[in-house]
Amino acid sequence: MSVTRNTSGFGKFHTFLIVAFFSIPCLMFSANALALSGSDFQAGNIIDNSLFFNSSAMSVDQIQNFMNAKVPVCDTNGTQMYSSTQTRAQFSASQGYSPPFTCLKDYSQNTSSVAGQAGLCNDYTGGQKTSAQIIYDVAQACGISPKVLLVLLQKEQSLVTDTWPWSIQYQKATGYACPDTAACDSQYYGFFNQVYNAAQAFRRYQLNPGSYNYRAGRNNSILYSPRSGCGSSSVYIQNQATAGLYVYTPYQPNPAALGDITGSGDVCSSYGNLNFWRLYNSWFGQSWGALIRTPDSTALYYSDGARKYSVPSMDLVAQYGLSARDVRYVSQGELDSIPLASAPYSNALGQVVKTPDDNDADGAALYLVNNASRIPITSMQQFSDFGFQSSDITYLSWDALQTLSLSTSSLSNFIQAPDMSVAQVSNGQLHAIMELSKLSAANPSGNITPLTTYTLSRFSYGTPLVDGDYIIIGPDSGLRLYRGGSYYVIPSFDVYNCWGLGSTKTFRVPSYTISNGSSSGDLNCIGKDSSNNLFVMNGSAKYVIHGSGLTTSSPSDSLISAIPTGTTPTLIKGSSPEVSVLDNSTGTKRPLPSLAMLLDLGYSPSSITSLPDGAYNFLLRGAVELSNGSVLIEPQGGISVVTSPTTRLQVTSIKQFVDFGFMYKFALHATSTELSQYASTGNLSNYVRTNDGVYLLDSGVRYSIDPSLNSNLGIDPSTYPVLDSHIINATSQTAMTAFIKSTTNSAVYELQGGQKHPLASMTTFARETNNHPEYLLRLSPEMVNSFPIGSTIF
Amino acid sequence: MCLGDNRYIISLLLMANKKSFQPKPFLSKASTKAIALFVLVALVIGGGIALYRHKLDAKRPQISDKINYSPPTKEEQAAGDKQKQADINAQKNPPPSSASVFISDATQYGDTVEVRAYVSNVTENGGTCTTTFTQGTRSFSVDTHAFMDASSTQCGAIDVARSKFATAGTWSVSVKYTSPSITGESEASSLTVN
């Protein structure tokens, strides 16, 4: 009894459904193993050196098993139909080939020993060997990957998958000594001959790369087809393995072939190297990519085929022309099988490279790796100029070096950044050059090396190579005034103007980095030369001032000296309406509170000199400039009267305020700061001494005191400070006498010795005044009371 | 899990077949609907699983040092037949009447002008490559011994010191191959001498 035999229709259907259910996922993506596209093909990098020259990529058993897998059943007798009317045997016979056919997996032959040749293949020991053994042994002797040989056998004669191969296919198994458009050279016929000579050829190309038509590290013109008229294109061949493939088969796929990698393209399509790439990638995985890692670790290495180097960063390998696209994932076993580079090689990649051997094909050449090329460093002096040290040198194999395009120009000490700025390199620093004339003079050869941003990041920028004063306009449109290694920021147009910078050479730069310098702060219009002379600059003239504590700018003496010296103004103003008196002994401006004050002080509005804010605002700000006699209303309510630009006297009472007629004077509600700038010299006295004379002030009247009255009044005016007559604002004036009375009392007094003596009667008054009744002065009660009372005069 | 994961599938198959021991009438309408529904659900779930598996596979990088032991593709199976036809055709090719010479590089590297050229349709030893540099009325030639290679005849290293060029500027280069059996000349190539 069998389960399968007794199934009903429904049972079969169920079985189908279940199988279908679990098959769907597999059917949908079974072809997912490797999806190759022509766009993945890199003409200059068909296969990496590390894969091409890896002789231990497969064991004999793996080779055999692989070939077995590719030919499940060999049609030894050619019994399968070749066409509708002919079996393979019949067709073969018609072409001169008769069964039995031996598939590659079953092939064996007696091989002769071959002595090794220095630099090519080691000794090969002959004997009766299977094809797998021959492939393996030749791979070992010549240092070529067995995978490469298998692909070569398939690419040239389809031997790996052919189920009924002819003898001619073995005779020219690897196409060695077979031009594409002519007959093969029969002396190289035979499977072993073909495999061995092909492997040896690749080693020969590697040993003498300069002797062949295609070279790694060069731009090479490669034809699309043997057919004439199909054209060619330039290909930079990145490695020896790829160069070898082109020497062996000197054609590259054209766009039609790349668009149809398993088809036939057009009449100009050559598939040889494309087939090599396609077969290798579909049978043995990714063929390109010098960067290797395992899926389980982020550690990245650069492999030159024989050893691996640690990769410090993707930014660095970008200089090698490599990107994430060049990363090849390998098994841990494969990674471990490639030794980490050791002496004389460096174990990690760097940017300054050379081969360890000074006597190899490359000599002692040192290179800077930059933008996928190696730029020869011309001398140890240049090495030093760039600030490189011996510890910066990475020793790479020649194989690794030649993956980098050799720059057609040697390294220049004059470099160009991606932003097109140019700099000279010295002492490990970059010194920006802004002027073409300067560049031409310093670099007559005109050789300038473009460097990438990454390479430039190794260096710092030093002082730009510009003589004298110059202006930099930065990427933010900001302006800076430079001289030597320092600069001032130019904050505004009026500051630009006050220094007369219109004729100063100006450069627009893409980055402030290249115009490195130390900042001296914002430029203003208070200039200071190297002798510490101070000037107020306004572009058309400079004015000498003195003082200390000013914020000054000292960009250069030459800029200061280029501006003529003018007469230092007294009245100045900035862009605001404020007008000030300039005290050029202290560099102080004293604002005038009003036009009236300006006039009151005796100035003319026509004498005001306009200064840029960069000057005006940077002068020290002094107290408000007030005329003598101006009133300061103190924050605490007290009142003072200005007696000089720096002094004041305290007004002791409202009565005194009235006595002096201050209500008609300019009054300023002074801040404590302003008040402090007028030093109080004491209380105001109603006796005032001026250059005109001595006065007693009372109720808005000033009484002039003849010196003969001093004793009557009991005063000594010589001890009084001499005040400005402007302090007195009394509108009327009369002569002081010795006879007074209060406006509110009928008592009449005669002043004697500073006392008021009541006069007993009008008769007494007449007698004392000698009948001059006009001598009697009517003073305020307060003033009368201010005199101490004396004895009555009868 | 694919068909290769046999144990689970076999058990499911057995379960399905156990039901089939009991004789069944023709499928009823209800059964037909049930089957249709089952197929639909199977497709949806199966598709989802497939998509999930595909995404997982896509995320995981493929190891490059693999060996693909899968059977030959249809193209690989047909390759032998095509190859034989190509070999038959190649035998019918008449011998070339002239050598096809191609310049693959003509560039000044430092103080040396380097030219590389080859003959693509001949593999032989004993020939000579004559490289001629021309600028206006100035002209000079360099001979190198050619040698056979895998699929071509190589002209070898044609390296000329810069000092041999009287003036800088654009020069024309051509390579002529001469042997007892065949001759041919390349197209002229342009060379910039600094």
Rounded to 10°, the helix B29-59/A9-29 angle is 20
A9 part of a folded domain? no
CA distances from A476 to A231, A431, A469, A472, A482 (A): 50, 21, 21, 11, 17
- A133 and A160 co-located in one domain: yes
Domain extent, residue A609, equals 527-621
- The domain tally of chain A equals 6
What is the model's pLDDT at position B64? Answer: 61
Contact at CB, B67 and A58, closer than 8 angstroms? yes
Assess whether pLDDT exceeds 50 at residue B136.
Answer: yes
C-alpha to C-alpha distance for A246 and B151, rounded to whole angstroms: 10
- Residue A683 CA to residue A681 CA, distance in Å, equals 7
Closest Cβ opposite residue B39 in set A17, A65, A283: A17
> What is the rounded distance in angstroms from the CA atom of residue B157 to the CA atom of residue A178?
22
Cβ-based contacts of B104 with chain A (< 8 Å): 213-214, 220-222, 250
Helix (H, G, I), strand (E, B) or coil at A536: strand
How far is residue A208's CA from residue A183's CA, in Å, rounded to a whole number?
27
Give dist(CA A630, CA A648) in Å, integer.
9
Q: Which chain B residue lies closest to A67 (C-alpha atoms)? A: B69
Angle, helices A146-157 vs B74-92, to 10°: value is 60
A355 to chain B, closest Cα gap in Å: 19
Residue A645 lies in a domain: yes
Contact between A47 and A280 under an 8 Å Cβ cutoff? The reply is yes
* pLDDT above 70 as % of chain A: 95
Whether residue A162 is found in the same domain as residue A268: yes
Is there a contact between A18 and B35 (Cβ–Cβ < 8 Å)? no
| Inter-chain touch B65–A57, beta carbons under 8 Å | yes
Domain stops at, among A523, A557, A586 = A523
In this structure, chain B runs to a length of: 194
pLDDT greater than 70 at residue B24: no
pLDDT tens digits, B162-190:
999 999 999 999 999 999 999 999 999 99
Q: Do B150 and A248 touch (CB under 8 A)?
A: yes
pLDDT grade, residue A312 (50/70/90)? very high
Measured between alpha carbons, how far is B110 from B117 in angstroms, rounded to an integer?
A: 20
Whether A779 has its CB under 8 Å from any CB of chain B: the answer is: no
Question: Are residues A647 and A712 both part of a single domain?
Answer: yes
Of the residues A10, A30, A55, A327, the best mutation for testing chain B's interface (the one with the most B CB atoms within 10 Å of its CB) is: A10
Question: pLDDT at position A394, please?
Answer: 96
State pLDDT tens for residues A227-276.
889 999 999 998 889 999 999 999 999 999 999 998 889 999 999 999 99
Locus of tokens 């090969």 = A124
Strand-pair partners of A87: A81
Q: What is the pLDDT of residues A704-730, one digit of tens each?
A: 999 999 999 999 999 988 998 888 887
* A46-93 pLDDT, tens digit each: 998 888 988 888 999 999 999 999 999 999 999 999 999 999 999 999
Would you state the structure tokens that stand for residue B163, as one six-digit string?
């000092």
In a domain? residue A614: yes
- Tell me the pLDDT band of B45, cut-offs 50, 70 and 90: confident
Lowest mean pLDDT of A31-40, A437-446, A512-521, A732-741, name the range: A31-40
| Confidence check: pLDDT of A424 > 90 | yes
Residue A332 lies in a domain: yes
Average pLDDT over residues A279-301: 91
Q: Say which of A70, A250, A295 has its CB closest to residue B60.
A: A295
Domains of chain B: 101-193 (2.60.40.10)
CA dist A680 and A683 (Å) reads 8
Q: Over chain B, what is the mean pLDDT?
A: 82
User: Could you say which of B16, B61, B63 has the minimum Cβ distance to residue A11?
Assistant: B16
Q: Does residue A64 fall inside a structural domain?
A: yes
Give the model's confidence band at A557: pLDDT under 50 very low, under 70 low, under 90 confident, else very high.
Answer: very high
Res B14: pLDDT: 41
Query: Which of A389, A406, A423 is at the close of a domain?
Result: A406
Residues 6+ away with beta carbon under 8 Å from A682:
A649, A650
Q: Rounded CA gap, A412 and A343, in Å?
A: 30
| Whether residue A170 sits in one domain with residue A56 | yes
A761 and A675 assigned to the same domain: no
Residue B41: partners with Cβ closer than 8 Å, 6 or more residues away: none
Mean pLDDT of A745-765: 93
DSSP A27: H
* Cβ A372 vs Cβ A320: under 8 Å: yes
Name which of A218-227, B6-15, B57-66, B157-166 the model is least confident about. Answer: B6-15
Average pLDDT across chain A, whole number: 90
When pLDDT is averaged across residues A154-165 and rounded to a whole number, the result is 97
Q: Under an 8 A CB cutoff, do B13 and A183 touch?
A: no
Contact of A182 with chain B, judged by CB distance below 8 Å, is answered with yes
From the list A320, A234, A232, A328, the residue with the least C-alpha distance to A280 is A328
pLDDT at B43: 78
Q: A541 and A470 in one domain? A: no
Q: Residues A204, A123: one domain?
A: yes
Q: A745: domain CATH number?
A: 3.30.2390.20
Regarding an ipTM greater than 0.85, the answer is no
Q: How many CB atoms lie within 10 A of CB A756?
A: 25
* Phi and psi torsions of A270, nearest 5°: -120, 125
pLDDT band at A32 (very low <50, low <70, confident <90, very high): very low
Clarify whether residues A722 and A793 are in a common domain.
Answer: no
Say if the Cβ atoms of B65 and A331 lie within 8 Å. Answer: yes
What distance in Å separates residue B143's CA from the closest CA in chain A?
A: 14
CB contact under 8 A, A29 and B53: yes
The answer on pLDDT for A9 being more than 70 is no
Res. A344: pLDDT tops 90: yes
Q: pLDDT tens digits for A626-664?
A: 988 889 999 988 999 999 888 999 999 989 998 888 887
Q: What pLDDT score was predicted for residue A25?
A: 38
Phi, psi at A671, each rounded to 5°: -75, 170
Same domain for A94 and A218, yes or no, is yes
Query: Is the pLDDT confidence value at A27 over 90?
Result: no
Distances (CA, A) of A372 to A217, A322, A368: 10, 8, 10
Check pLDDT > 70 for residue A17: no
| Residue among A14, A176, A222 whose CB faces B150 most closely | A176
Residues 237-296 of A with CB under 8 A from B: 247-250, 262, 282-287, 289, 295
CA–CA gap between residue B104 and residue A243 (Å, rounded): 12
* A residues 294-323 closer than 8 Å to B (CB): 295
3-class secondary structure for A569-594? CCEEECCCCCEEEEECCCCEEEECCC
Q: For residue A617, what pLDDT is reported?
A: 92
Interchain contact, B3 vs A19, CB within 8 Å: yes
For residue A61, what pLDDT is reported?
97
Q: Which of A182, A177, A212, A226 is nearest to A197 (CA)?
A: A177
Evaluate whether A268 touches A258 at the Cβ level (below 8 Å): no
Specify if A19 maps to a domain: no
Same domain flag for A479 and A559: no
Q: Note whether residue A475 is domain-resident.
A: yes
Among the candidates A523, A540, A568, a domain finishes at: A523
Q: What is the pLDDT of residue A20?
A: 43
- The confidence score (pLDDT) of residue A7 equals 34
* Residues A571 and A675 both lie in one domain: no
A31 touches chain B (CB under 8 A): no
pLDDT in tens, A250-259: 999 999 999 9
Q: Which of B49, B64, B160, B182 to mutate to test the interface with A (most CBs of A within 10 A)?
A: B64
**CA angle centred on A333, ends A327 and A338, rounded to 5°:** 65
Q: Judge if A658 and A712 occupy the same domain.
A: yes
| Interface contact A76, partner B, CB < 8 A | no
